[in-house]
Amino acid sequence: MFLYCLALQLITESKLIEPYILWKLPLEKYGLKPDHPFQEDYASCQMAIMPENFFSEADKGKILFKRSESKWWFCEDGIEFDNTKIKADVVVFATGYDGKKKVKSILTEPFRSLLENHSGIIP
């Protein structure tokens, strides 16, 4: 009975939290809505926390969100992929849960070794 009540509570929370987050934050507008239920993120303590003015800066064009499965590379003043150059002071890789593995697969030498410590772990 306890497990049934707990499962019912989790389902109810999921049904309430996800619509609230989608209403409160413009995740769909910027293509940031995950492909999986939000419950997976908050159950594993992986909900992102953003600064208060994060989306207002995105509205001003100071933060750009780009998703790409294709090859990319840094250019002189930013990053280039999908035949598009984007000027950038900072590039953030949002790689998902296994970010260290993803970063290792993306970066080539000598950049990979700059991030790894002597045990091969990226801090």
Would you call the peptide bond into 19 cis, given omega within 30 degrees of 0 as the criterion?
no
pLDDT in tens, 37-86: 776 666 555 566 778 888 899 999 888 888 777 778 888 888 888 888 88
pLDDT at residue 60, rounded to an integer? 94
pLDDT at residue 43, rounded to an integer? 55
Selected residue with higher pLDDT from 60 and 11: 60
Beta-carbon count within 10 A of 64 CB: 13
DSSP per position, 42-90: HHTT------TTHHHHHHTTSS-----SS-EEEETTEEEETTEEEE-S-
74: β partners: 79
The mean pLDDT of 82-94, rounded to a whole number, is 83
pLDDT at residue 27, rounded to an integer? 84
